[in-house]
Amino acid sequence: MINPFSKLGISDDVVNAVKELGFENPTPIQEQSIPVLLEGSNDFVGLAQTGTGKTAAFGLPLLELIDFKSNKPQALILCPTRELCLQIANDIKNFSKNTPNAHVVAVYGGANIMQQLREIRNGVQVVVATPGRMLDIIGRKAIDFSNVKYVVLDEADEMLNMGFQEDINDILSTTPTDKKTWLFSATMPPEVRRIAKNYMENPVELTMGTKNTGNVNIEHEYYIVRARDKYAALKRIVDFNPEIFAVVFCKTKMDTQDVAEHLIKDGYNADSLHGDLSQQQRDKVMQRFRDRNMQLLIATDVAARGIDVNNVTHVINYSLPDEIESYTHRSGRTGRAGKTGVSICIINSKETGKIRQIERIIGKQFTKAELPTGFDVCEKQLFSLIHKVHNVEVNAEQIDQYIPRIMDEFAALSKEDIIKKFASLEFNRFLDYYSKAPDLNISADERERGERGERGERGSRGAVNADYTRLFINVGSVDEFTRGDLLGFVCNNGKISGKTVGKIDLKGVFSFIEVENASAEALLANFKDVQFNGRDVRIEVSGEASSSSSRGGGGDRRRSGFGGGERRSGGYGGGERRSGGERRSSGGGSGRREGGNSGGGFRDFSGRSREERSGGGRREGGSGDRRRRS
Ligand code: AMP
């Protein structure tokens, strides 16, 4: 049987390489664009979402059109972010692994330019670049684009959003006029149209799906809650989806940190991604997310650009984007590679108009969903646990030695009693938290009155009033700590609950951390002989007064084994992977998750060398290059 990629005109070397990657059949976008692009004689505009197989759609034809006997750059691919740049370069390297003398270079900001220059000097045919760094290299006269035959503008709308228009103009002006330009974009705002008009001649236009339409595999839901119940609503959604693996979008860096910190304190496996993190910190956070050692990634729009993690079950819009067009990019983080996903908006009653606007843009209707009751959550968690128990692999070799003692202990109990007890062990904990949980859905009546309800969820933010002690600790961002890391480090070594920790002020070589008075005492007593990278770590009461007022915890997941949110101390703390269970997202996402829910999600601070950890604290402004807007 002829391979479907061969049928499209792809040569054996490349077909064999994609086969090894598990590509059996072309995706719809590949099916449509490969034959057109292989002709090599047209400009091209492809309207396509991320995650649809776009990279191979242009990457495979490029490999057929390039003359690999020559070591001159013949294809230039421009994309908005460092992450996407690395991803595309890596994909094309994989596609060309059997192609003799194929050389691909990734050129992006925030990395050593000398290495990139060296690779260019050694000879490359495909250059994948972010605009800022590309221009830098052109400015150094370190690259010759006179043989470029194809320029790909990937995620063109994003590049323009990020203010790269001028850079793109400048770069394109250094390439031959008879080159072909292939533009891919998820949306087609007038600015992108203008590029197509200015730089292209009668481009072949293909729309994969309807124009501006969100991925068909994504369900869109919204929940209306009071503004102050947003956090409780987020937790309830997460608790109702025990296997959730989600990106949560916030508008500002502060919000991402705030939400992530509260989630971490409440025992969830979360961290934040925003532009203030150094590149190393960003990479670390992304790696944890990719490895499924983190369940909830709380991100700003800019920081999340180019996130290319498959199997994300949910995108949660904790706040709606200012620019409605960004919604398509946010929701496109789920439902990738043929999987299904759910994009959720948590809104207040005044924002329903925005939902209608988004519906018009994506050409799809939202479902107005009701937040589950506390009882619904308990039931869902209970059966998730039962399902896990049912499917757990028994390590007979290890457990058999204990079975006689366990049997003795249970001798007087019937099978039914034992099952009840096992189920209750965890069920009780969620029940404790949720038994008095209020209905967070806003009633039609309240909606009309404009959210004047006065209820708040037990344990939701701001409920406790405790005095805090401000502590000084001699580690900080130069040690590559994020606030989540520091919280884990302090709690693990000081043996205190993260719930008692207030504000964390991460500085360069030191940090301040506010802890409830009683816990601060315990922490100071326990925090003895702690070392980090061979250095003594000191924690002491700071001269400055505590600024924290109140920090309520929320449903403390650590108390619960449900959903794997339990934080462990010591050597277990490093986001250790467990074997995965079948994912059952509310959006029906399928496929196995490798890591399952990990314990704790904090780093293992033991035994990593200084080299591995050095260089933190450098402010490189995150992904992409120079011009980010927020
Ligand atoms: P992209 O839109 O290029 O980022 O691709 C999204 C994901 O789909 C990536 O993980 C690709 O490896 C995967 N993918 C692309 N094309 C195919 C294919 N024909 N068959 C299976 N997976 C694919």
CATH of the domain at 95: 3.40.50.300
Averaged pLDDT score across all residues of the chain: 78
Identify whether residues 381 and 359 lie together within a single domain: no
Pair 412, 521 in one domain: no
Domain boundary among 207, 233, 250: 207
Considering only CA atoms, which residue is closest to atom 5 of ligand 1? 53
Residue 186 pLDDT grade (very low, low, confident, very high; cuts 50, 70, 90)? confident
Instruction: Decide if 354 is inside a domain.
Output: yes
Kindly tell me if the per-residue pLDDT of 563 is higher than 60: no
> Higher model confidence: residue 180 or residue 205?
180
Residue 252 pLDDT > 70, yes or no? yes
If one compares 542 and 32, the residue with the highest pLDDT of the two is 32
pLDDT per position as a tens digit, 123-169: 999 999 999 999 999 999 999 999 999 999 998 988 887 778 889 99
d(CA 575, ligand 1 centre) in Å = 28
615 lies in some domain: no
345 and 270 fall within a common domain: yes
Pocket test for ligand 1, best of 87, 336, 339 (most atoms within 8 A of CB): 336
Categorize the per-residue pLDDT at 561 as very low, low, confident or very high, splitting at 50, 70 and 90. Answer: very low
Judge whether residue 583 has pLDDT over 70: no
Domain of residue 480, CATH code? 3.30.70.330
Residue 472 has pLDDT above 90, yes or no: no
Of 285-299, 446-460, 605-619, which has the strongest mean pLDDT?
Answer: 285-299
Q: Which residue has its alpha carbon closest to ligand 1 atom 1?
A: 53
Q: Are residues 251 and 343 in the same domain?
A: yes
Residue 588 has pLDDT above 60, yes or no: no
* Residues framing ligand 1 (Cβ under 6 A): 22-23, 26-27, 30, 50-56, 308, 310, 336-337
Residue 376, Cβ density class (10 Å: 0-12 exposed, 13-18 middle, ≥19 buried)? middle
- CA–centroid distance, residue 52 to ligand 1 (Å): 6
Q: Which domain holds residue 335?
A: 218-368
- Domain membership of residue 395 (yes or no) is yes
Q: Are strands 535-536 and 511-516 parallel, antiparallel or unpaired?
A: unpaired
pLDDT tens digits, residue range 91-104?
Answer: 999 999 999 999 99
Residues 170 and 269 in one domain: no
**Per-residue pLDDT tens over the stretch 193-241:** 888 888 888 899 887 754 434 566 888 999 999 888 899 999 999 999 9
- Residue 290, domain member (yes or no): yes
Average pLDDT for 448-473? 50
Q: Residues 184, 56: one domain?
A: yes
Identify which of 536-545, 549-558, 577-586 has the greatest average pLDDT: 536-545
> What is the count of structural domains for the chain?
4
Within-domain flag for 261: yes
Region at 112 (left for phi over 0; alpha for psi -120 to 50; beta for the rest): beta
Same domain for 41 and 153, yes or no, is yes
Poorest-confidence range of 301-315, 453-467, 473-487?
453-467
Structure confidence at residue 470 (pLDDT): 84
Mean pLDDT of the region 240-255:
91
Whole-angstrom Cα distance, residue 94 to residue 275?
30
**286 belongs to a structural domain:** yes
Instruction: Examine the domain organization and report whether 164 and 44 are in the same domain.
Output: yes
According to the model, what pLDDT value does residue 564 have?
A: 34
Same domain? 50 vs 185: yes
| Shared domain check, 190 and 105 | yes
> How high is the pLDDT of residue 91?
95
Q: Which of 345, 368, 391 is the last residue of a domain?
A: 368
Instruction: Evaluate whether residue 586 is within a structural domain.
Output: no
Q: Is residue 164 situated within a structural domain?
A: yes
Angle value at C-alpha 470, between 465 and 474, nearest 5 degrees: 145
Are 166 and 284 found together in one domain?
no
Closest C-alpha to ligand 1, atom 8? 337
What's this model's pTM, rounded to 2 decimal places?
A: 0.50
Residue pLDDT, tens place only, 366-421: 888 889 888 888 888 888 888 888 888 888 888 899 999 999 999 999 998 888 88
DSSP string, 421-432: HHHHHHHHHHHH
If asked whether residues 485 and 506 sit together in one domain, one would say yes
